[in-house]
């Protein structure tokens, strides 16, 4: 119902625009009602299997369609004002390194950024090593470690001056972490393209909060019990879990598109792999993503 009404509303908005009524959307009238989308979705989530729930999802779809089309028209108007192709914007490079101490057994990594392209893959003998190319703001890396055996690192992008906004802006972050400690990771970003390959790390907890994003997340079996919490808005995410670990997915009811390859239904909102109860290594994934297309698939464990 939600997606159907959203597509229908988009089509009707396009029809109105073709007859000269695009001023409704360009003047931000329609997009101002987007908070009511959250109201209807929240109310629908509280209800179960009834006509009112269907109506609320339908109304939410109408508002989502109108808001998306309004955002499209506004973006098109802004782009039309750019009379020349944007010139390349200089992207200064920042390099960060924090040394690793053998006494560190547990480590926390906190990352926050706006519209960013972020990649994690290879390990490093340092505790943290990162290269940043950003034309919209500087990053900082702070060591907040409370004790010799516990490391706490905060990496964040500073305030972005409005004057730096550009169609050619660049904000690219590559991060490498040490594989020895047990990691608790937290990521917060807005519109993002993320590729997080965490198969070489001992992950105890992973928290991801994102806006409109396209992400690939690869998890490993390096720790006995890993807790993964994902909260997002309009999101497309692909998650890979090793077949050697048991995995359970707990998903919030809502207008989501889920694909769980190799999982069995375990209740109304739970899915788990057939080996979950007997597996020595377990991964529990909590999904709370509003408008998302999420796929989770089991892959062969790395040797």
Residue/partner pairs of 212-220 with CB below 8 Å, 24 or more apart: 213/189, 213/237, 216/240, 219/245, 219/283, 220/301, 220/302
pLDDT of residue 144: 92
Question: What is the mean predicted confidence (pLDDT) over 134-159?
Answer: 90
pTM over 0.85: no
Query: Please, what sign has the CA dihedral across residues 35, 40, 46, 48?
Result: negative
Q: What are phi and psi of 94, to 5 degrees?
A: -115, 140
Who has greater pLDDT, 183 or 147? 183
Determine the 3-state secondary structure of 287 from DSSP. Answer: strand
| Range name among 5-9, 156-160, 292-296 with the lowest pLDDT average | 5-9
| Structure token pair of residue 107 | 């480590």
- Asked if 111 and 186 count as a contact pair (C-beta separation under 8 A), the reply is yes
Burial of 200 (0-12, 13-18, 19+ CB in 10 A): middle
Residue 241's beta-bridge partner residues? Answer: 298
pLDDT of residue 141: 95
Alpha helices (H) along the chain: 2-16, 23-26, 35-46, 51-80
Task: Read off the pLDDT of residues 72-93 as tens digits, 9 standing for 90 and up.
Answer: 555 555 444 433 444 445 668 9
- Whether residue 211 is predicted with pLDDT greater than 60 in this model: the reply is yes
Question: What is the mean predicted confidence (pLDDT) over 10-35?
Answer: 56
Question: What is the mean predicted confidence (pLDDT) over 143-158?
Answer: 92
- Asked if 171 and 136 count as a contact pair (C-beta separation under 8 A), the reply is yes
- Asked if 296 and 263 count as a contact pair (C-beta separation under 8 A), the reply is yes
Q: Which of 215, 220, 276 is nearest to 247 (CA)?
A: 276
pLDDT of residue 239: 94
Q: Which of 148, 53, 70, 158 is nearest to 103 (CA)?
A: 148
Question: What is the mean predicted confidence (pLDDT) over 155-169?
Answer: 64
- Asked if 157 and 110 count as a contact pair (C-beta separation under 8 A), the reply is no
pLDDT of residue 165: 46
Question: What is the mean predicted confidence (pLDDT) over 186-209?
Answer: 93
- Whether residue 28 is predicted with pLDDT greater than 80 in this model: the reply is no
Alpha helices (H) along 81-187: none
- Where exactly are the structural domains of the chain? 2-80, 93-299
């Amino acid at each position: 119902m939600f997606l159907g009404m959203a597509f229908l509303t988009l089509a009707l908005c396009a029809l109105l625009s073709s007859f000269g009524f695009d001023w409704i959307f360009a003047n931000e009238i329609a997009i101002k009602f987007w908070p009511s989308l959250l109201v209807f979705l929240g109310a629908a989530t509280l209800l179960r299997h009834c006509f009112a729930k269907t109506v609320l999802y339908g109304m939410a779809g109408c508002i989502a369609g109108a808001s998306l089309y309004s955002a499209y028209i506004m973006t098109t108007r802004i782009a039309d004002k750019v009379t020349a192709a944007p010139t390349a914007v200089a992207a200064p490079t920042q390099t960060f390194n924090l040394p690793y101490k053998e006494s560190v057994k547990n480590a926390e990594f906190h990352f926050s950024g706006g519209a960013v392209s972020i990649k994690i893959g290879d390990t490093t003998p340092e505790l943290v090593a990162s290269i940043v190319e950003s034309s919209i703001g500087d990053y900082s890396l702070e060591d907040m470690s409370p004790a010799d055996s516990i490391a706490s690192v905060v990496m964040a992008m500073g305030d972005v001056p409005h004057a730096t906004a550009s169609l050619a802006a660049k904000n690219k972050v590559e991060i490498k972490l040490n594989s020895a400690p047990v990691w608790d990771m937290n990521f917060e970003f807005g519109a993002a393209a993320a590729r997080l390959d965490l198969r070489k790390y001992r992950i105890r907890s992973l928290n991801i909060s994102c806006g409109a994003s396209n992400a690939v997340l690869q998890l490993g079996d390096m720790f006995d019990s890993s807790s993964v919490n994902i909260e997002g808005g309009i999101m497309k995410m692909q998650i890979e879990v090793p077949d050697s670990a048991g995995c359970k997915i707990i998903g919030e009811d809502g207008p989501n598109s889920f694909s769980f390859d190799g999982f069995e239904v375990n209740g109304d909102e739970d899915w788990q792999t057939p080996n979950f109860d007997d597996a020595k290594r377990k991964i529990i994934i909590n999904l709370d993503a509003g408008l998302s297309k999420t796929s989770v698939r089991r892959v062969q464990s790395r040797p």
